[in-house]
Amino acid sequence: EVQLVESGGGVVQPGGSLRLSCVASGFTFDDFAMHWVRQAPGKGLEYVSLINDNGETIHYADSVKGRFTISRDNSKNSLYLQMNSLGTDDTALYYCARDYMGSYEYWGQGTLVTVSS
Amino acid sequence: DVVMTQSPLSLLVTVGQPASISCRSSQSLVYGDGETYLNWFQQRPGQSPRRLIFKVSNRDSGVPDRFSGSGSGTDFTLKINRVEAEDVGVYYCMQGSHWPYTFGQGTKLEI
C-alpha cells in the first residue's frame, strides 16, 4: 500500500523557517518525481514545487521561488521542503504528492504550517 | 502558467439528480505524446484530495461509475449521473500537460 506521511508543520513567526518532511512507503521511491502542494485555509489547491526522481530537476512556483528549497533523500525514501522567510500567505496545509503521468495519484494527509506573530 | 477555469463554483444538487462541472484551460492540454493530462479530484470535508479521473476520462480504481469525464483540447467536463450524499465536497480539475501543474478554483457540491 502506497503511503505518504508528512511532518514538520507548526506555528512560526513571520520571517521564520520550517523544514517539512514526507516519508514514502509502498513503492520504489526513486522511480517517481515528487511534488509539494499546499492549501490555504478554506482555499483551493496550489502547486508549490517539484523534484524529479533523481533530484536533478527542480521547479518552484513563483510565489515561493528564492525562499523554499525542495530536496529528497532516496536512501531514506524521503522528500523535504525547507521554507525560509515565511509570511502569513504561506499559512496552509502542505501535502506531498507522487507525480506520475501528469497526475497525482497519491497524496499524504498534509502537515499544517501556520505563520503568525 | 496554464489557467484552469471551473464553472460553476458552487452546485446545489438533489440526491439522485445529475451534476456537471465544466473546466476550461487557457491553452490546449494535448501534450507532445498525443495524450491529454487532465485530471479530476474530489476533496471531501477534512480529507486529502482523491483522484477520480485521469487523462480526461479514465476512472480510478474504486471510483463509482456514476462519475465520468469527457472533453478535449481546452474544454472538459466532469459528470455525476446520479448524485449521492457521499459526493458532497469540492471538485478540482488539474492539468498535468504543462509545467507547473495547475488547478481550477474548485467547485463546491452541496446536497
What tens digit of pLDDT does each residue of A35-74 get?
A: 999 999 999 999 999 999 999 999 999 999 999 999 999 9
Q: How far is A24 from chain B (nearest CA, A)?
A: 16
Q: Say if the Cβ atoms of A44 and B55 lie within 8 Å.
A: no
Please answer yes or no on whether B51 and A110 come within 8 Å at the CB atom. Answer: no
Distance CA(B101)–CA(A38), nearest Å, equals 13
The C-alpha atoms of residue A50 and residue A72 are separated, in whole angstroms, by: 10
Size of interface A-B (CB pairs under 8 A): 64
pLDDT for position B79: 98
The distance of B39 to chain A (nearest Cα, Å) reads 7
Between CA B16 and CA B13 the distance in angstroms is 8
Q: How far is B97 from chain A (nearest CA, A)?
A: 6
Confidence of residue A8 (pLDDT cuts 50, 70, 90): very high
CB A116 within 8 A of CB A66: no
In A, minimum Cα distance to B30 occurs at A102
- B35, B2, B52: which is closest to A101 by C-alpha? B35
E-assigned strands of A8-117?
10-12, 18-25, 33-39, 45-51, 58-60, 68-73, 78-83, 92-99, 104-107, 111-115
Question: What tens digit of pLDDT does each residue of B45-90 get?
Answer: 999 999 999 999 999 999 999 999 999 999 999 999 999 999 999 9
**Separation between Cα atoms, residue A109 and residue A112, nearest integer Å:** 10
For residue B89, give every residue at least 6 positions away whose Cβ sits within 8 Å of its Cβ, in sequence order, or none.
Answer: B42, B43, B44, B45, B47, B108, B109
